[in-house]
Every structure is written in structure tokens, then in C-alpha cells.
Chains A and B, each alone.
Chain A
């Protein structure tokens, strides 16, 4: 805190701290002020509070050199922080509410204490809120009062089944049931208890409150609750939907036939061959095996046996496990950074597009074969031609949809994957669309996103305990542009560079373009059709002969269906009409890079 200089003459002056709580008296060496001089100066500066007594000032004046010519002449009284508001629960809380979602106490969660259904009776005081208090007031050296700081308040509103008492401190249950705190609201849910299994004797259950099941939920049944669903045993091939949490004291094993879905968190001893999704976190005591697990917060498996083995796990914020994969190296995919609903749709659409592309490739081969063998049988080739054009239209629409989906994803660049013990080969970690495929067993690994380099990286420790970093492999995406118009080449270059591609070559005709392709082997090619010295279609054919996986995007103002068909048949990735809209080029390029 740098002091303010409030008064300065060359011999005697006062400096005051910025918060006006401390005043320093300075005396120039050689000068010998009196007590009255000091008192006059204090009066002049309006310093009236906390002034040292005369005895102490006189001691200073007699020994100024020992004090280095400076004395704290006045000290104010700082204000204090008040007590924070406190919530005093009058019911036994489930261990879920003490689970530190920031994982500070993650080892301390006792899974045996999770899943208790608290119970309150009508008119019980279920919560008392002691309000925040204001701290003690302070005073500056100028005598100004500084009000005390208020403690932090805690906002908790009464929800259904709860009312606030007249004293504004007590929360009273209006009905008997289970108290639930969710999203800053305290409510009391009616509770429905099933004494055994959910089976033919109970039928499917839908209840506007919390459901407690003392047995299991058996194959083929449905349980829907507005509040929590607490299951003492297992969930088998059933559908469970909860507006609150799902707590399964043993395991979830639906054999991929049911769906467990919660607006809150999901707790389970283990998850096996199941599809599980939660708006909140998914916390597992033992392993998640061969399952599709989706969370819009975190997926956690941190006890000694905690592991994710096989399957696909998506979390928006973090995945934290003891082990990822296993010694058998099963394919295990984990992804963080996106909300699961949109990411799942995006990946499913990409998979569908790959299927369509595969079908198109087959049709192209069939068309070529048919063209050679059919002779003048136009009907034969016409049929295949029609199918190709139709499928091409489907492909274009899918590409547009994928682009829309991709653009609407919101990326969490703080997302990470943490492995407390071992990560095994066979595991692929995705952050955004960047992937790290694990080839070697690695201990204590963390995967994070580098916002500058826009890639994911691994950090871990070597045998000597030194931390190291390994970036995910990222081959630069390169492109060559083939077009006889300089203006078109420049426009495309600018557009493609904005997409993060590197334009490694430009050619003004097909022959130059082919030479460039052979030399540079770019990721992608854009190619005009009407050019001298080898037109676009000849160039396309030659490039595809060079490399059957080459991705060539035709960009032309030719609208002739025959030409378009020929391009598709010769294996062009897509066809963009000039004058092109940048969005269309972006869609097609992104699709080419992702396929």
C-alpha cells in the first residue's frame, strides 16, 4: 500500500496510507521538532483519531535516529468482516450434499452414505437460516466511521411443500416427505416407497416426488420421478427418468436396452453395458465398463477400483478417474469440452455421413463398370446415375446440417481429463476435435487444451519425477488451389486461410495443378473445370489415379448436370457452384477435413 503524502515541508511531514488507517510522521535528520510542532501538524492535517500518546512521542523525539526518523503517529481502527450466513439443517442430509464437486474431498465420499431418503413431517422446521451479520465498524485517523463489512449471504428459496416462517429464518415443511435442495431451492417432495422390486407387482411407476425402491428395477420396466430415484439394489434393462438425482446403491446394468436419465446427478456403485445421461455429474464407486455415459458436468470414478474401461464417455467439464482403459487395451473413448446432447448428435451425423460417402463410392465404381460393360444400354447406366445424383443431394444436405451443428457447439476450453493412476493403450482422449491416442501406459496423466496452439496436450511425470508435456499429433491441413482466375484463387486463399488451412500452392491450369499435387501431397485440392492445358475433370481423374483417397472439391460456374455427374463419378468430394457463398465453401471444406 503506497502512502499518500499529505503534508510535506522539508523538515517535518506526515504520510497517510491509502486506506486512511495509518499515519507516518517523518523528520528530516538534523531537525529537532518539539511535541507542540507535531501536535500542530496533526491538527493542520485533521488527524484526530488513534494518535500516539505524548509519552511515546517524546520517547521518539529523544531517540529519532533509532527510529530511523519515522514514527507511526496515528493508527485508525480497521473495520471487520461480519459472520457469513449459516444454514442449519434440521434433517439428516445425504452424503451427496457434502460431496465436494470441486473434488477437494473426493476420497472422503462414503458411498454407503449416499442414497438415504431423509424424511420430515408436516410443520417440522427443516432448515434454519442464520442471517449474515455485519462486522464491527472501524474508524480512520481522520475520525471517519467505516461501516463493518457484511458476511456472505446464502440464497435459499422456499419451493413446493415449504414455507418461510414469520421470523424469516425458519423453513417449515408444509407436507410430510423428503426434503430436497436443488438449484438454491428447498422443497419437500412427497415420497413413494416400493418395498421390493419394481416388477409386475408394481408395474411402471410415475410419481410427482421422490421414489425410493428397496429392491431392484427389473427388465422392461419404467420409473419416472419428478424428484430423486433411490434404488437399494440394481437397475436392470429398465428406463429411469429423474427430475433430481438417480442413486443406485449397487449397479446399473441395462445390457444397452434401457436408458437412465437424470436432471441432477447420478450415483452408482458401477455401470456396465448401459446408456446413462445426466445434466449433472456422474459419480461411480467402481468401474464404468463398455457403456455410453454422458454428463453435462463431470464423470468421476476415483476410488481404488475407479476406472473407465471401454465404451464412450462424454463430459462437458471434466473426467476424473483412477484408471482409464485396462491391460486388455479395449477401445475406450473419452471426450470433454461439449455438452453431450449436441456432441452426440454431431458425432452420429458424422458417422451417418461416412456411411453415405461409402455408398457413393460403391455406386461410382458400379457406374464405371456399368459404363464399360453396358455399351448402349442407357437404362442400366441411367438407373445408377439417378441413384448417384440423389445420394449426392442427400450428402450435401447432411454436410449443411453437420456444419450447423458444429457451429452451434459451445466449447469449454477449461475442460480436462485427469487420470490418478494409469492410462492404457487403446484409449483415445478427445478435447474439441483434437485427439490423443494413447500408445504407451502412462501414470498420473492429465489432458488439457492449449488455447494458443489450439490443440490438446498430455502432461505427466517421467521416471525421475520430472513433469513433461506431449502435444497431440497435428498434421497441418494443406490445400492447393487450381483455377485460371487469379481473383478466384486469391478469394479462395483468403477464405481457406481463415479456416486455418495452409495454402501450399496455386496453379492456373490442370497440368500445373497435377504437378503441384504430386510434389506437395496436400490434404485437400480445390479445382476449377474450364481451364486450358488439362481441364478440371481430367485433372480430377489424374489426381485420383495418383491417390485414390485424394479429396478434390470442384469449384466451377458450369451448371451442366452431365458435368456435375461426371465429377461425382470420378470421385470429386463435392461440387461448389460459382459464384460461391463463403459459407458453402466452409461447409464443404470442413466436411472434407472431418470425413
Chain B
């Protein structure tokens, strides 16, 4: 986000809001991912996962959190592919969720500084 339209304080506030939202979305992703084993409507759950990652892609990029956005974007594309089943995505999703968590924490630490 170019900072010549917003003041420093405004940018800081927007980034804080974004970070809070990313943390909420992360929690939703964890819950949704955990439910894949148990749910009957697997297609809907994967679609929901995809939508959550899609939201993170756009929201993170807007605030300049490029690494978070990149992880989410790649995962979104992966989930859109045909034939994606819970057993196929289980392991990659675990790694992705860890990656996402790391990136979000990175952002959080940088903001504290």
C-alpha cells in the first residue's frame, strides 16, 4: 500500500486491523482443516478453506504483508485444482498452516518493533 495517501498513524491503524483479521482467519482455517476428517460435506469444507485463503491473499497484500499473501495465494491455487481430497491435502495443509502461522508471527514481531 502506497503511503502517500494515508498518514503514518492511519497506515499503522490499518495494519493493526489487518493483523487482527489475519489471526482470526488463521483460527478459522485451523478449525476448518481439522473438520475435514469429520465432515460429510467435504467439498463444501474445501471450498470454504479456499475462500478463507483467498481472503487472506487479498487482505494481506493490501497491507503489504507480501509473504503471508504469497503463502495464502499458492494454497488457494492448490485447493482449486480438481480432485483435491482430504487425504491428499492433509500433509501439505499441515505444513501450510505452520508456514502461515510463522509468517503472521513475523508480521506481528515487525510491527511491535
Contact = CB atoms under 8 A, between A and B. Distances in A.
Contact of B54 (A491, A557, A581, A582): A557
Interface stretch (B14-22, B34-42, B102-110): B14-22
A488 B59 contact: yes
Contacts of A490: 14, 17
A530 B10 CA distance: 27
Contacts of A165: none
Given A485-B59, A578-B62, A495 B18 contact: no
B17 A579 contact: no
B112 interface: no
Interface string B42-62: 000000100100110111011
30 contacts: A484-B55, A485-B55, A485-B58, A486-B17, A487-B17, A487-B18, A487-B59, A488-B59, A488-B62, A490-B14, A490-B17, A491-B14, A494-B6, A498-B5, A530-B54, A530-B55, A557-B54, A557-B57, A557-B61, A578-B58, A578-B62, A579-B58, A579-B61, A579-B62, A579-B69, A580-B62, A581-B2, A582-B2, A583-B2, A583-B5
Given A491-B62, A494-B6, A485 B21 contact: yes
Nearest to A555: B58
B10 A486 contact: no
Given A486-B21, A494-B14, A578 B2 contact: no
Contacts of B61: 557, 578-579
A487 B6 contact: no
B1 interface: yes
Interface of B: 1-2, 5-6, 10, 14, 17-18, 21, 48, 51, 54-55, 57-59, 61-63, 69
Given A530-B51, A532-B51, A557-B57, A487 B5 contact: no
A532 B44 CA distance: 11
A354 B17 CA distance: 39
Contacts of B63: 487
A292 interface: no
A538 to B, nearest CB: 15
Contacts of A75: none
A578 B10 CA distance: 19
Contacts of B2: 581-583
The secondary-structure label for the interface of chain B is: helix
Contacts of A484: 55
User: Looking at chain A, what size class is its interface with the partner chain?
Assistant: 20 to 34
Contacts of A579: 1, 58, 61-62, 69
Contacts of B62: 487-488, 491, 578-580
Contacts of A488: 58-59, 62
B73 to A, nearest CB: 8
For A484, A495, A579, A582, which residue has the most chain B Cβ atoms within 10 angstroms? A579
A556 interface: yes
Contacts of A495: 5
A530 B79 CA distance: 15
For A498, A530, A583, which residue has the most chain B Cβ atoms within 10 angstroms? A530
B10 A487 contact: no
Contacts of B14: 487, 490-491, 494
Interface string A568-595: 0000000000111111000000000000
A139 B98 CA distance: 89
A279 to B, nearest CB: 34
Contacts of B10: 494
B100 to A, nearest CB: 16
A556 B10 CA distance: 22
Contacts of A487: 14, 17-18, 21, 59, 62-63
A491 B6 CA distance: 10
A491 B58 CA distance: 12
A582 B55 CA distance: 19
Contact of A557 (B5, B6, B18, B58): B58
For A486, A498, A557, which residue has the most chain B Cβ atoms within 10 angstroms? A557
A526 to B, nearest CB: 13
A581 B6 CA distance: 12
B5 A556 contact: no
B1 A556 contact: no
Nearest to B18: A487
Contacts of A557: 54, 57-58, 61
Nearest to A579: B61
Given A491-B14, A532-B51, A582-B2, 15 more contacts: A484-B55, A487-B21, A491-B1, A491-B62, A494-B6, A495-B5, A498-B5, A530-B55, A532-B48, A557-B54, A578-B58, A578-B61, A579-B61, A582-B5, A582-B6
